[in-house]
Amino acid sequence: MPYTAEHKQQSRERILGSAVRLFTRKGFDNTSIDEVMADADLTRGAFYAHFKSKQDLYAQAIASTPLFSIFGQPKPDDKDERQWLSQLVSAYLSKLHVKKADLPCPLAFLVTDVAVNEPEPRQAYTEVYLKMNQMIRAYTRQFSCCDKETVMAVTAMMIGGVAVSRTLTDKKAQDDLLKSCRQLALGLLGVESSKKRNPRIAWV
């Protein structure tokens, strides 16, 4: 009996979720197809029903970032655009995100890995990065005059802030970096500062 379309989609998402976890933890070269399929609790033979190659999986794992990231979650009805964007930015630039082992954002965790990879993953990365900018820009239009160039600078700082923070062994320096990036990002985006920001928002 053939698998249903729903079953195939669920299997595909399991593979992508495992790929995001492993690629962001170990990088492209140190992650094998067998490891990804074992993590997804599927057979290797099922891999080629969904992906052409490891490179294809890598690119599509990056492209699936909104599926697993907080930036893919819809705004709750009880929050306005300013409040929601404040939570998104604060959650992204938090120690919880930096230390997240399961589903961290590939934009920050794979930035150097993708830079030396093939064009397909780099194209996927580019598209996800631009979508992140478009999403933040859509929120800021509701409450500030923040322009496109400022949003791009802020997102680059957010991604870079997380990437650099991951390399630091000095915990105070790590805290200071994340705090500085949060404050500057929220200020540049026109989000009012608040002492009650809660970065512990669920990523998945």
pLDDT single digits (tens) 14-55: 999 999 989 988 999 999 999 999 999 999 889 999 999 999
| Contact criterion met (CB below 8 Å) for 200 and 96 | yes
Give the single-character DSSP code of 4: P
Q: What pLDDT is recorded for position 203?
A: 43
Cα gap 120→83, rounded to integer Å: 35
Q: Is the pLDDT of residue 194 over 80?
A: no
Residue pair 52/160 in contact (Cβ under 8 Å)? The answer is no
Q: Supply the pTM of this predicted model.
A: 0.84
- CATH architecture of the domain 5-61 equals Orthogonal Bundle (1.10)
Q: Judge whether 5-61 and 66-189 match in fold.
A: no
What is the CATH class of 66-189? mainly alpha
Across 145-155, average pLDDT: 95
Report in angstroms the alpha-carbon separations of 95 from 23, 51, 176: 20, 34, 11
- Could you tell me the residue ranges of all domains in the chain? 5-61, 66-189
Angle at 19 between CA 14 and CA 25, to 5 degrees: 135
Residues in the chain, overall count: 204
Take residue 180 and report the two structure tokens written for it: 């500085």
Q: What is the pLDDT of residues 61-117, one digit of tens each?
A: 999 887 767 677 788 999 999 999 999 999 999 998 998 755 578 899 999 999 988
Confidence label for 134 from pLDDT (cuts 50, 70 and 90)? very high
Q: How much is the mean pLDDT over the chain?
A: 88
